[in-house]
Every structure is written in structure tokens, then in C-alpha cells.
């Protein structure tokens, strides 16, 4: 009697290969996801302005930023405005800024990285106000 299971095995193997390919495609699309980028500058000695965006330049208004003390205590929380910026009073204690757009999608800006913009090279988003 001939073995009639062979066509079924081929279909199962082909389906398994298709599923493996689909899973690989999904994983690749995750790798191409929009990653957050953020930058903060001093407006003056007491005020910081930050901008958050995706790595391809898309604005991320409504996304959350936090100012966190080195002890881990949240000092300030805010959301990016329509220009994807957020301004706050510079804390007295050491801090960092956390731009958090979801699990695995965070950027931190250390206090030491926050300074006045270079002379003659003020970003456009710093001049919008």
C-alpha cells in the first residue's frame, strides 16, 4: 500500500517555512522601528528646553519627559508640546532627563550634557517662542 502521508508532510513543512519567514519579517520590522532621540539646551541659567523626536525626524508631541534626581526621585514630569518641546526650571540638585516613549524606547540626557547652544548655531526649535 502506498504512503499517502507524504503530501501532508510537504504541506506541513511548507507551512512551517512560511511561518518562520513571517516571524523573521516581523522581527526585522521591529529593528526598523522609530527610535527616540532627544536633546536639551539651557535657555538661560535657570531654564532648560528639551526636544524629543524619532530618529527619522518625526515629532513626538504628547510624549512624556521626566526630570529625575540621581537618587531616583522624580522631580518633574511633562509632555512634549505641539513643537515636540518641553521647558522646565533647572533643579538645584543633580539630575538627568528621561524621554520615555514606551518599553525599550527611552533616552536619557545627563545634566552634564545640557549646556547653552553653540554660538551662531541655535537650533530652530530653540527660537520658536
Q: Both 75 and 112 in a single domain? A: yes
Query: Domain range holding 20?
Result: 1-32
103 burial via Cβ count (<10 Å: 0-12, 13-18, 19+): exposed
Q: State the total domains in the chain.
A: 2
- pTM summary value: 0.70
Give the pLDDT confidence of 63-74 residue by residue, as tens digits: 999 999 999 999
Give the pLDDT confidence of 104-116 residue by residue, as tens digits: 899 999 999 999 9
Secondary structure of residue 19 in the 3-state scheme:
helix
What CATH number corresponds to the domain at position 99?
2.60.40.10
Amino acid at each position: 500500500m502506498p504512503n499517502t502521508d507524504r503530501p501532508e508532510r510537504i504541506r506541513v513543512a511548507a507551512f512551517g517555512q512560511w511561518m518562520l519567514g513571517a516571524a523573521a519579517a516581523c522581527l526585522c520590522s521591529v529593528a526598523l522601528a522609530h527610535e527616540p532621540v532627544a536633546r536639551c539646551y539651557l535657555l538661560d541659567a535657570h531654564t532648560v528646553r528639551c526636544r524629543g523626536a524619532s530618529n527619522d525626524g518625526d515629532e513626538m508631541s504628547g510624549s512624556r519627559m521626566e526630570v529625575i534626581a540621581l537618587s531616583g526621585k522624580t522631580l518633574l514630569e511633562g509632555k512634549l508640546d505641539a513643537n515636540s518641546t518641553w521647558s522646565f526650571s533647572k533643579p538645584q540638585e543633580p539630575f538627568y532627563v528621561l524621554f520615555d516613549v514606551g518599553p525599550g524606547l527611552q533616552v536619557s540626557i545627563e545634566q552634564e550634557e545640557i549646556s547653552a547652544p553653540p554660538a551662531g548655531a541655535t537650533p530652530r526649535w530653540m527660537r520658536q517662542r
